[in-house]
Amino acid sequence: MNIFLRELRANLKSLLIWSLIVSFLIMMAVAKFSGFANDPEMVKMLDSMPPALLDALSMRAFNLTTLSGFYGVMFIYFSLMAAIAAAMWGSDIISKEERDKTVEFSLVLPVSRSRVVTAKALAALVNCIAFVLITWLVSLVGVRSYDPDQAFYTFLALEMQALFMIELIFLAIGLLLGCAMKQYKRAGSTAVAIILLTYFMSIVIVLQEKLDFLKYVTPFKYFDAGELFRTGKMEGTYLLLTAGIIVICVSLAYVIYNKRDLYI
């Protein structure tokens, strides 16, 4: 419990910074939506943009004059921020002990390495939950002047659930990297590189139908905003893949961290 509380305090600043960033993004998006709200003429301006770019940004999958449509387009930006934050929390919360030369303190505590990883992972999980709840709350406050209908609230709730799933995936990946990489300084940058690679992969899939099979490799396609809006649910296959990635990454993190040498 002491390790868990210590990590919560240590990561509070990071959580506040990420929360401020996403809150600013939401407020900017809501302000920008005022130019599109119920104005078809604004949407016609998008016709001058390359179709491939519109498809890559999911801008042709939604009606940008509606609140639900505009938030559907914004979902990818929320996803990227949540993924990076979760991966950084997961990797840094483990590797920082070696980076800050405090790993010796952790080793002399009357707890196993597995309990240390569990406490740290739970602290990072709390941060992820807080990030989603803050994103959700700020969104609700930001759009209230537009009198959203029930359909918007339902779609927003589904988006936030998908956002949490994305966080869990990259939290698990970050945790594995933090536990496994001997060059601990590279754990965070490697996690971010994986996020960017899978994101650009999701764009390439849209542009090249022949590469559609890669959708099972990138988590950003598991929870595509356009599909969420169209079907109103998360697909079971992708939820199973999500669970599989999390279980495998977390299990490997425990196994590797218990066996490898730590740099004091």
At 123-141, the pLDDT tens digits run 999 999 999 999 999 999 9
Q: Select from 71, 91, 69 the least CA-distant residue to 79.
A: 71
- So what's the pLDDT on residue 106? 57
**Structure-model confidence comparison of residues 241 and 103, the more confident one:** 241
- So what's the pLDDT on residue 180? 83
What's the average model confidence in pLDDT over 173-185? 82
User: 95, exposed or middle or buried, with CB in 10 Å at 0-12, 13-18, 19+?
Assistant: buried
Give yes or no for a contact between 215 and 208, defined as CB atoms under 8 angstroms apart: no
pTM (whole model) above 0.95 = no
- SS3 percent helix, strand, coil of the chain, rounded to 5, is 80, 0, 20
DSSP 87-119: HHHHHHHHHHHHHTT-HHHHHHSSS-HHHHHHH
Scan for tokens 């809150």, then name that residue: 23
Tokens of 179: 């536990």
Tokens of 214: 């890669």
- So what's the pLDDT on residue 182? 73
At 46-105, the pLDDT tens digits run 666 656 555 656 666 667 778 888 888 888 889 999 999 999 999 888 777 656 555 555
Tokens of 142: 């930001």
- So what's the pLDDT on residue 160? 95
Give yes or no for a contact between 8 and 121, defined as CB atoms under 8 angstroms apart: no
Q: What are phi and psi of 211, to 5 degrees?
A: -100, 20
At 32-43, the pLDDT tens digits run 877 766 666 656
What's the average model confidence in pLDDT over 237-249? 95
Measured from the Cβ of residue 195, the count of other Cβ atoms closer than 10 Å reads 25
Tokens of 256: 């590797």
